[in-house]
Amino acid sequence: MSTAGATPAPRDEGAKLGFRLTLPAQILVLFISAFPLLMQLYISVTDWSPLSGVGWWNAWEMWNSFANYTDLAADTRFWSALQRTAIVMLVCVPAEFLLGLALAMLFADDFLGKRVFYSILLMPMMVVPAVAGYMFFMLFQSGGPVNDILARIVGAPVTIAWLSDPTLALIAVMIADIWQWTPLMFLILLAGLVGVPEDQMKAATLLGANAWQRFTTIVLPKMKTIIIIALAIRVIENFKIFDTLYIMTGGGPGVATETISVYIYKVTTQDLIWGYVAAIALAILIVLSIVAVYAMKRMAKAREVPA
């Protein structure tokens, strides 16, 4: 600003520097949101596909007057994939939460070997998800170790074909997800549990409160925000479930483990109807954006709580 005079005020210098420092991030965000979003919107009202022989900018030649969106409403494979994603979420997230909470309670005070156990129990969440998928692919082979353990328990050979049975395959991929992400719940909930004041717990004990009463009246209320954050993170990430699942079953047998990400992946790479994919993706983006605003408000509130 030339009108500000020869020596700009320090505040002005700060604002300028702040603008320059945030510029690269702003450009990257714009580069990945604004233009792609418009492109997605444009393609979603056409029959365009990479094999259609025209550039995407000429997709208007294949305008199909919102047929993709009406198709979507009637696409049973899409809705059952969405339903399956919801089932996986409704089983995995509560299971991870309860197991993580139970583990966190065991780790609330000091005991011999705590740090070693803690580090080992966190390991699954650091394993590359695709590799975790391969681990469980091996474990659930009909001649694999899971059946071997079962055989030792029942004392007779067990040859369950886990990944070829529609129901068992879904259970297997959920077990893999629970194995990998319970540590994340454990980690976050333990951090919250440590923040519960010790003296309140002691006072409650002196007043004759039993463990369950202490848990429901002191621990749970103190951890409310942390629990919401932990659940929100897992719900968001679980909704995207792809890597482990795709490596284990490829969405099969048939479509038995086809979640929303796997469905979109298949339509993108096998059916190649990108106009339709763009419509699905946009519909999902709009719903998730609303969720994002809500989650953001929650997180902003949480940050005011001293942790």
Q: Which two tokens stand for residue 118?
A: 């803690």
Q: Which two tokens stand for residue 287?
A: 């719903």
Q: Applying CB under 8 A, does 210 fall inside the site for another protein?
A: no
Q: Applying CB under 8 A, does 45 fall inside the site for another protein?
A: no
Q: Which of residues 182-201 bind another protein (CB under 8 A)?
A: 183-184, 187-188, 191-192, 194, 198, 201
- Closest by CA to 241, choosing from 225, 219, 257, is 257
Q: Please count the residues of the chain.
A: 307
Q: How far is the CB of 307 from another protein (least distance, A)?
A: 5
Q: Applying CB under 8 A, does 82 fall inside the site for another protein?
A: no
H-state helical runs in 240-273: 243-249, 260-266
Site string for another protein, 134-153 (x = CB under 8 A): xxx-xx-xxxxx--x-----
Q: Which two tokens stand for residue 225?
A: 């925000």
Question: What is the gyration radius of the CA atoms in the chain, in angstroms?
Answer: 25
How far is 286 from 307, CA to CA, in rounded Å? Answer: 33
Backbone conformation region of residue 141, classed left if phi is above 0, alpha if psi is from -120 to 50, else beta: beta
Q: How far is the CB of 10 from another protein (least distance, A)?
A: 7
Q: Applying CB under 8 A, does 15 fall inside the site for another protein?
A: yes
Stretch that binds another protein, among 75-83, 87-95, 160-168, 278-286 (CB under 8 A): 278-286
- Interface residue with another protein among 8, 117, 168, 218 (CB under 8 A) is 117
Site string for another protein, 234-273 (x = CB under 8 A): --x--xx-xx--xx------------xx--xx--xx----
